[in-house]
Amino acid sequence: MGRVRLVFGPDDLEGYAHARDRLRLHIVAWARRRGMEVEPSLVAAALDHKHGVDGRLGHWTRAHVADALAVWFPRTVALLEDDRDAVPAALHALIGFLADNDWLDSRSATPAELHAQVTGSTPALHDALDDERNHDLGTFWAVQMLRHGVPTADPSAVARFLEQVNAGELEIDRVALDEITRRQAADTPEPVRAQLPPVLLPSAARMLAAADSSVALARLRAFTRWVRAGRALNRDGKLLLTDARAVADALDLDHFSRERARTSDDLSEISLLMYWARQARLVRVVRGRLVQVKSAAPLLSRPIELWQRAFEAVGGIGEHFGGSNVFGAPSLFGMSLGEAFPMLLQQLYAAGGEPMPVEKFHRLVRDTVNERMGCVVDDLAGDIEHRLWRRDVTALLDALELLGAVHLEESLDGEDLVELIELAGRDDPDPTLVALTPIGIWAVREMLTELGIHAPLVGELADEDIEFVCVRMSKVRPEVAEAELAMWVEARPRRVAAQEILRYLQRAEDPAHRGLALFALARTGAPGREVARQRRERPSTTAGHRAVGAGAQPRVECDARTRRP
């Protein structure tokens, strides 16, 4: 049979299309050898349905079958009266083929249960098809054109058909059409949120060491203690110049501007530190004086909690980055730095600790602005606005690095520069690469969890099928992938794990996926080696002898007029 992949991410459309075409041919040939005639387009439609549900072509439950027959096919596939029986025939063939090749994953229902569900849900398919209101708009019109023999590939024929409908020369169910139109106009599709990768969280000892070594945290703690009972502020709520110089001298900051400063604003590092401490609720203004927040005093001796509060405060001090806020809060066509900060964190978290070009963040912001405005507008921003935005993003990243939440480096590779220029749309792209540190990953996960976003940890895939785990882990850091696969092996008897891995290796086609599966197999130890030896020595048998194949299903003839929209 060869190697066939059965698990796909939402973005891997090209890989899925290739696998679907191969599977369709194999399934149709398999069915015909058993006396079943199946419509290839309906087999492809069933695979499309499963790809849209979860991307797992070998994972079928009774609920998946029931939903496909009662909802998805009536809504999205154009079927005439004579085509109806071809739908369950296609599903029987798909299930039988997967079972015969032992390709139903470990979490699927049994083949017997799935075949029974196809039979049991067929009346629901017929009931749904009897009411045209169950179609979506495209399927409704595709059905009308099929009924009237309109060649849908001929634009002029389609145009003539629509003219006849509008003139009342052809009869259609206008009540159903009106209801479908109203329903689709009212439907608001749920935004598709990309799945976040699982992460390895640092130990408490490692987080404590990271917090203790944080330069920014040391400065915030020292500044808060320097404030003590209070420091006078001027009318603008800024430190007096003498106090600003004194604390700059004590903390060894603002080396080049300390003596030349005419106001405390000229001491940019101290100004940022004060706003950061205020945003972190370490100090506050009371009657014109800057004072310590009493409840924050115990926090100064709890490094991890203090670090987390300082990290969460970063997003609220965006307008004070860059050493001046003469131009107001930094923004790019209304996208403030504070609003963009969560977008940056989610991008970095999705990268799983791998370095990401900061230009990718700039591109995301521009695309978001354009989508919000409904047209391409970011190019209209003046050069000054772009430079101020980039200056303040750089200052934000510097502050995060000072805190120890990110690691910064520069890409000096010539090929990378070409890609950065294309990504940035300018000849002087920012070469900075940014990655979350382990404590940064922990902090972002805490924020995501508070927002109700599922951010998985290593080990959450332990009950999944091995192919699903390998596909998901192929794009994460090696240490994360290996930890996940080790926990997958530990979650089941070693012999059971080895058997599942070896079944998958018989058809695994992607080198990265095979490499991860082999790593998992090695973790099974002696049981894995024994199972592998037995498989080499055992004569090949047909898995279908042990499964309920579709050969027991009745011969079903289908109408070749079946079309998918």
pLDDT tens digits along 38-80: 999 999 999 999 999 999 999 999 999 999 999 999 888 888 7
What is the spatial distance between Cα 200 and Cα 456, in angstroms, rounded to a whole number?
Answer: 9
Cα three-residue angle 423-470-521, rounded to 5 degrees: 145
Task: Give the mean pLDDT of 409-430.
Answer: 79
Q: Is the pLDDT at 139 greater than 80, yes or no?
A: yes
**Six token digits for residue 153:** 């590939």
Task: Give the start-end residues of each E strand in 129-282.
Answer: 231-232
Per the CB < 8 A criterion, the answer to whether 433 and 372 are in contact is no
Task: Give the mean pLDDT of 477-495.
Answer: 95
Per the CB < 8 A criterion, the answer to whether 473 and 195 are in contact is no
Average pLDDT, the chain: 86
pLDDT range class, residue 554, cuts 50, 70, 90: very low
Task: Give the start-end residues of each E strand in 365-441.
Answer: 406-410, 432-436
Per the CB < 8 A criterion, the answer to whether 292 and 282 are in contact is yes
Per the CB < 8 A criterion, the answer to whether 265 and 276 are in contact is no
- Residue 392 is predicted with a pLDDT of 85
Considering only 18-22, 124-128, 148-152, 485-489, which range has the smallest mean pLDDT? 148-152
Please tell me which of 160-169, 241-250, 375-384 the model is most confident about, judged by mean pLDDT: 241-250
> Among residues of the chain, what percentage have pLDDT more than 70?
88
User: Is the model more confident about 208 or about 78?
Assistant: 208
Per the CB < 8 A criterion, the answer to whether 251 and 215 are in contact is no
- Residue 281 is predicted with a pLDDT of 95
Considering only 110-124, 259-273, 311-325, 436-450, which range has the smallest mean pLDDT? 311-325
Per the CB < 8 A criterion, the answer to whether 248 and 270 are in contact is yes
What is the spatial distance between Cα 536 and Cα 519, in angstroms, rounded to a whole number?
Answer: 19
Q: Is the pLDDT at 190 greater than 90, yes or no?
A: no
Strands 289-292 and 231-232: antiparallel
Cα three-residue angle 364-365-366, rounded to 5 degrees: 90
Q: Is the pLDDT at 320 greater than 60, yes or no?
A: no
User: Is the model more confident about 265 or about 124?
Assistant: 124
Looking at residue 10, what DSSP letter applies?
T
150 residue type, one letter? V
What is the spatial distance between Cα 103 and Cα 59, in angstroms, rounded to a whole number?
Answer: 9
Per the CB < 8 A criterion, the answer to whether 46 and 91 are in contact is yes
Looking at residue 435, what DSSP letter applies?
E
Task: Give the mean pLDDT of 339-344.
Answer: 90
- Residue 142 is predicted with a pLDDT of 83
81-112 per-position pLDDT tens digit: 788 899 999 999 999 999 999 999 989 999 99
Torsion of CA 528, 533, 537, 540, to 10 degrees: 30
Torsion of CA 544, 549, 555, 560, to 10 degrees: -80
- Residue 482 is predicted with a pLDDT of 95
pLDDT range class, residue 526, cuts 50, 70, 90: confident
- Residue 324 is predicted with a pLDDT of 42
Q: Is 154 exposed, middle or buried (0-12, 13-18, 19+ CB in 10 A)?
A: exposed
User: Is the model more confident about 507 or about 318?
Assistant: 507
- Residue 544 is predicted with a pLDDT of 38
Largest Cα–Cα distance of the chain, in whole Å? 94
List beta partners, residue 407: 435
DSSP secondary structure of 331-376: EETTEEHHHHHHHHHHHHHHTTT--EEHHHHHHHHHHHHHHHHTS-
- Residue 543 is predicted with a pLDDT of 40
- Residue 327 is predicted with a pLDDT of 37
Task: Give the start-end residues of each E strand in 256-358.
Answer: 283-286, 289-292, 331-332, 335-336, 356-357
Q: What share of the chain is helix, strand, coil (3-state, %, to 5)?
A: 60, 5, 35
Per the CB < 8 A criterion, the answer to whether 122 and 88 are in contact is yes
Sequence-separated (6 or more) residues with CB below 8 Å from residue 500: 106, 465, 466
- Residue 321 is predicted with a pLDDT of 58
What residue has token string 């799935």? 114
Q: Is the pLDDT at 322 greater than 60, yes or no?
A: no
What residue has token string 């439950």? 61
> Among residues of the chain, what percentage have pLDDT more than 90?
57
pLDDT range class, residue 530, cuts 50, 70, 90: confident
